Structure 1
Amino acid sequence: MLPFHQVDVFTGEFLLGNPLAVVHGAECLTDEQMAAFARWTNLSETTFLLPPRHADADYRVRIFTTEGELPFAGHPTLGSARAWLEAGGVPKGGHLIQECESGLVRVRCTGERLAFAAPPLIRGGDVDAADLEQVKRALHVADEDVVGAQWADNGPGWIALLLKDAETVLSLSPEPGIGNVGVVGPHPPGCEAAYEVRAFSGPVEDPVTGSLNAAIGQWLIGTGQAPDSYVAAQGTNLHRRGRVHVERLGADIWTGGHTVIGITGSVRLL
């Protein structure tokens, strides 16, 4: 039996964020066992905590979807950090350092929130015309509703579209065959959240997506289209209330939110 947590990420209230299954002490598990348990949980991601290989890291995490392993993902980073701290983990330095397949990721605690420093993009820049047309057709979005588009790939392979407003974002009904596409649009001034975000991957819409929000923040803050600090809402159409806090501090874009431990126990994987 291995220690187990289920964490709700990007919410201060259980059942309104994005759930993550976390298995501790997973160095005894094979790749096949990890993949099988991730398929069984049927969550967007399941993580497995192991001793670090890098001298600077506090722990190592492996991130699995129901279909395979990811080098990095946002809500698994925050949920894994919360579970590791809940289990008594103490960071070696000022920041918690997570080792994942894409490298080392810094995580900091700011009051009741955790935040990670956005990793460098694997691919950024403009989306070529053919790919953009394909995405717009899959989203059923009109040309005049699209303000801009960028590659926002920090592991999952996101293409991000900036739409004219949050209302347009919330009205989308994309085709099931769409790839990894994120959309963002501004709310009117004075709203609790500055932007509305949605993330689509095939037939599935993700409730709240840290990697996408981090890459969108790098794009919009980096180009002066968003302020240095803002809150994004995500999951509205899925009856969730995700809130993602994005902030530029120096050269870094920090992406964070609240996390809630929902389930604590043990799991029989041995």
Structure 2
Amino acid sequence: MPRYTFYQADVFTDQAFGGNPLAVFPDADGLDTAQMQRIAREMNLSETTFVFPPGDPQADFKVRIFTPASELPFAGHPVVGTHWMLAHLGRIALTEPVTTVRLELGVGVRASALHVEDGRVTRVVMDHQRPQFGATASAEQVERLAHALNLSPAAITDTGWPVRVVSTGVWQLFVPVRSLADAQELGINRIDTGALGAIFAELDPETHCHDSVMVLTRETVQADADVHTRMFAPALGVGEDPATGSATGGLGAYLVEHGIVPATPPTTHLMAEQGLEIHRPSRLGIEVDGTPGNVEMVRVSGQVVPLLEGVLEW
């Protein structure tokens, strides 16, 4: 009878029952792709990770990431949470003040910096890919997008900022809105997912923006936050995501590239808040190297809280 131990933690938060929950299977040898997909569907979290010995000699571990519906090549809270959990389980030899660990992911080998105090990881800072900027939505597409999100077109166009596809590892669509109230009106049950998917296909025919959209506003709930976000990915089996590390990297690149926040070279430091509307408050640190027209690197950071452990057998 197959028997696998798993651990669950809340990522991008310093309190239990906040942030984005993640299941980690640290010893996944023997599981095939179909089994991992079934397990992720059973866990029913936005993502579940499976850890294997690395195939690439430059990596310390190989990690595969699954939503309830599909495998992802890269995602933020699974990378942050898996690093933290492996350190928590003693699988990583920690050196203060910073220990660098490299994971082999679907997008290649990516490094993260584990900040260590008194023998424990206090924060994980993950590298993203150099930003790539994709298609910008036309006026007609913005109008259709607004209706798909159940917003007035002015809620988007009044910002003066573009609706654009961006990637720092995963292509995603970024939609600015003029106010916190506009963002708070959103809800997965009010979204026309078919219309949204058609717009994804038009703007990004190859990956459909990985079927995900991040809505953002500079008006925030928390005084020390720089941006408020909501993330929807219904085609991936994730109605609303409480904390999205992959998209937050693209968000940082988007904000600096379009001058929505002033760049402070060499590194612009930002804080994003997410998940408040679904009672999973999350905080995601963003570091952006470069200036508009030359955004070189993005990093996303956060804290992790362990929550439970268990055994899956069948």
Q: Same fold (TM over 0.5)?
A: yes
Task: Find out whether 1:104 has 2:109 as its counterpart.
Answer: yes
Q: Which whole-Å deviations, capped at 9, do the CAs of 1:162-185 have from their partners, x for residues lacking one? A: 222323212224414144211110
Aligned-partner SS, 2:134: coil
Change (3 A) 1:248 1:157: closer
Which one is further off, 36-45 or 101-110? 101-110
* Counterparts of residues 220-239 of structure 1 (less than 5 Å): 220-227=255-262, 228-239=268-279
Rg larger for: 2
Task: Find out whether 1:79 has 2:119 as its counterpart.
Answer: no
Q: Which whole-Å deviations, capped at 9, do the CAs of 1:127-186 have from their partners, x for residues lacking one? A: 344543332211122333223211024565421012223232122244141442111101
Aligned to 1:57: 59
Task: Find out whether 1:175 has 2:191 as its counterpart.
Answer: yes
Which one is further off, 232-241 or 80-89? 80-89
Question: Partners of 1:132 and 1:61 in 2: how far apart?
Answer: 37
Task: Find out whether 1:16 has 2:18 as its counterpart.
Answer: yes
Q: Which whole-Å deviations, capped at 9, do the CAs of 1:240-269 have from their partners, x for residues lacking one? A: 111111112463211111111111243326
Which one is further off, 216-225 or 154-163? 154-163
Aligned to 2:247: 212
Root-mean-square deviation (CA), in Å?
2.4
Aligned-partner SS, 1:62: strand
Change (3 A) 1:82 1:75: same
Question: Partners of 1:90 and 1:258 in 2: how far apart?
Answer: 17
Gaps of 5+ in 1: none
Change (3 A) 1:249 1:60: same
Q: List, as ranges, runs of 4+ consecutive aligned residues in structure 1 with deviation greater than 6 Å.
A: none
Question: Partners of 1:143 and 1:2 in 2: how far apart?
Answer: 49
Aligned to 2:280: 240
Question: Partners of 1:121 and 1:32 in 2: how far apart?
Answer: 32
Change (3 A) 1:213 1:190: closer
Which one is further off, 48-57 or 214-223? 214-223
Question: Partners of 2:87 and 2:214 in 1: how far apart?
Answer: 30
Which one is further off, 221-230 or 256-265? 221-230
Change (3 A) 1:101 1:235: same
Question: Partners of 2:5 and 2:88 in 1: how far apart?
Answer: 11
